[in-house]
Amino acid sequence: MSQTTNDPRLLRAPPKRPIRLSWSDERVRGIVWQLLVVGIVGGIVWWLWSNTVHNLEVRRIATGFGFLGREAGLPIAEHLIDYNPTDTYFRALLVGLLNTLKVAVVGIVLATILGTLIGIARLSKNWLLSRIAGVYVEVIRDLPLLLQLLFWYAVLQGLPGPRQALNPVDGVFLSNRGLKLPWIEWESAHSWALLAFVAGAVATWLYRRAARAAQMQDGQPRRVWPVALGLLLVLPVAVWWVLGAPWTPDMPALRGFNFQGGVNISPEYFALLLGLVLYTAGFIAEIVRAGILAVAHGQWEAAQALGLKPTQVLNQIVLPQALRVIIPPMTSQFLNLTKNSSLAVAIGYQDIVSIANTTLNQTGQAIEGIAIIMLVYLTISLSISLFMNWYNARIALVER
């Protein structure tokens, strides 16, 4: 008895159900409950709202976002785009947002790398290595993040002043005014080289796909790494060479009370980044470990019994399954890192929360200020959630 298209169970459509107005009707009860709950919640919200309007009037606090166009008058030490205190509040908030993203993006990348390494170390056969990694994870996860941030900031503040700065390598100076690193004078040749690198990355990816397709055709594997090396390393260097090979290092040098030149990483940023990376890496390590363990040992055995080499087993069998388990909680940790960066206000790094806080103190418009903060973070969270849902749907294992 096959289920063909003339399955008689697909012939008629279900009827609609009319409602009977009576207390014992399930649906009537449901509607009444909902009205009750919505009514109570709505009532509370209305009460709070009317109080707020009244209080704002009495205290003569302005409402609305008009203040965004006013002059900010607040100094910001670190800014990725041009800013001076005569700019508007809007620009100040934008600078704050960029500062948040600066620490969040770099933090996510570093935390992922460190976390993955520690997670793998936890699974190592070397007892000492796995135990140390285990101790690290346990200690990091049992201490409040704020405490860790304050600790690192205190350590950095305890460093000697610029005149007695630590100088481990030529051009690198660590003092209580931050970390100074040498940089180079950026010229157009460098931009071209960078562009060549990006182009090389894209080309490598394309080549990998073509090589795989060709292998499917005739069975012969093709080595990708020589081509990748050429495109990612040799090409940019060649471009730079051809354009004159400019290389003028910009070394930090002590002038007066501080260093000039080179690139500066402020103690605030450094402490925040360090604290966030070490903290989040602890959680990511556990996620990576769980993901790798989640792939049943039988998978390894079956794959190896078929004759696949260890790298092949890793790439084709283990990693795809492990990533399924790893990616959802991992994105949740990325989100946590972004939200945790709001603790910057405690050590003086001016991120969006810190600047919005100063703004609301100066203008007195608390509601708008906090609304801005929440809006920024909600947007980031919801975007990451949406991405997660899309990703999950795409990689979901097809089951009965």
Give me the least distance between CB of 95 and other proteins, in Å please. 19
Distance CA 197, CA 321 (A): 31
Residue 235 to residue 200: CA distance in whole angstroms: 7
Residue that has been written with the tokens 């990748």 in this structure: 228
- Given the complex with other proteins, which of 316 and 361 has the nearer CB atom? 361
Please state the closest distance from residue 385 (CB atom) to other proteins, in A: 8
Residue with Cβ nearer other proteins (24 or 220): 24
In the complex, the smallest distance separating the C-beta of residue 178 from other proteins, rounded to whole angstroms, is 18
Spatial contact of 262 and 171, defined as CB atoms under 8 Å apart? yes
> Smallest distance from the beta carbon of 177 to other proteins, in angstroms?
16
Beta bridge partners of 173: 180
Phi-psi group of 193: left, alpha or beta (phi > 0 → left; psi -120 to 50 → alpha; rest → beta): alpha
Rounded to the nearest angstrom, the gap between the alpha carbon of residue 256 and the centroid of all alpha carbons in its chain is 38
Shortest spacing between CB 25 and other proteins, in angstroms: 5
Which of 360, 374, 361 lies closest to 65, judged by CA? 360
Q: Least Å distance between CB 148 and other proteins? A: 8
In the complex, minimum distance from the CB of residue 308 to other proteins, in angstroms, rounded to a whole number: 22
265: its two tokens: 């990483």
Q: In terms of Cα–Cα distance, which of 166, 188, 184 is closest to 175? A: 166
Under 8 Å between Cβ of 364 and 61: yes
Question: b/e for 278-315, b at 16 or more Cβ within 10 A?
Answer: bbbbbbbbbbbbebbeebeeeebeebeeeebeeeebee
Smaller CB separation from other proteins, 139 or 395: 139
Nearer to other proteins among residue 194 and residue 370 (C-beta): 370
Q: What is the CA radius of gyration of the chain?
A: 29
- Retrieve residue 211's tokens: 């090589």
Measured distance CA(374)–CA(359) in Å, rounded: 15
Q: Min. distance of Cβ 201 from other proteins in angstroms?
A: 31
